[in-house]
Amino acid sequence: MTWGKLLQPDLVLGDSIVNLTADILEKYQIKGLVLDVDETLVPMTAMNASPELSLWVAEIKPLVSLWLASNNLSETRIGRIAESLNLPYITGAAKPSRRKLRKAVTAMNLPMEQVAMVGDRLFTDVLAGNRLGMFTILVEPMIDAGYAVRKYPVRSFEVWVSQALGASLKTKD
């Protein structure tokens, strides 16, 4: 598989995760979601889930299995977020490594192709999901309003490299 294909999300949401609807999950026959945490669910500086995110989880949870998978090593922070959402979680996932993502999918007892890896990063979330044969969804990062003026040079570089390698990051409906 080429690098362009490995970095190509199956779906570019073009919005935050709270806009990932039941209709979208049904359209792509998704039965499980492995969710990145930092900047996918909460800003990097947040210690708690927002009310909006909690509501989204409450609406989606009856429809699909959910697991959190974070590269973050902070058991305290990630555990606190997971506990507030009542979701199982993995810290230190080391994405794009597949090992801990495979553990989450195995726990869901679903075929790999019916589980989506959802994240805001191409070189970690999308790459890891594609390496496992998961459906991959790229979302816009959740950022702290106080840091909104800051640029995201790593993500910008990832987008540039991915497009240079042939990935298309146009949103799909």
Tokens representing 43?
């800003």
Contacts of 82 (CB under 8 A, 6+ apart): 68, 88, 89
Of 2-16, 77-91, 133-147, 159-173, the range with the lowest mean pLDDT is 159-173
Tokens representing 88?
């199982």
Tokens representing 131?
């390496």
- Cβ atoms of 22 and 57 within 8 Å: the answer is no
- Tracing tokens 């209709």 back to the chain, one arrives at 23
140 secondary structure, DSSP code: P
Q: Look at the pTM and tell me if it is higher than 0.75.
A: yes
Checking if the pLDDT of 74 tops 60, the result is yes
Q: Which pLDDT tens digit goes with each residue over 109-162?
A: 999 999 999 999 999 999 999 999 999 999 999 876 555 445 455 666 666 666
Domains of the chain: 3-108+121-164 (3.40.50)
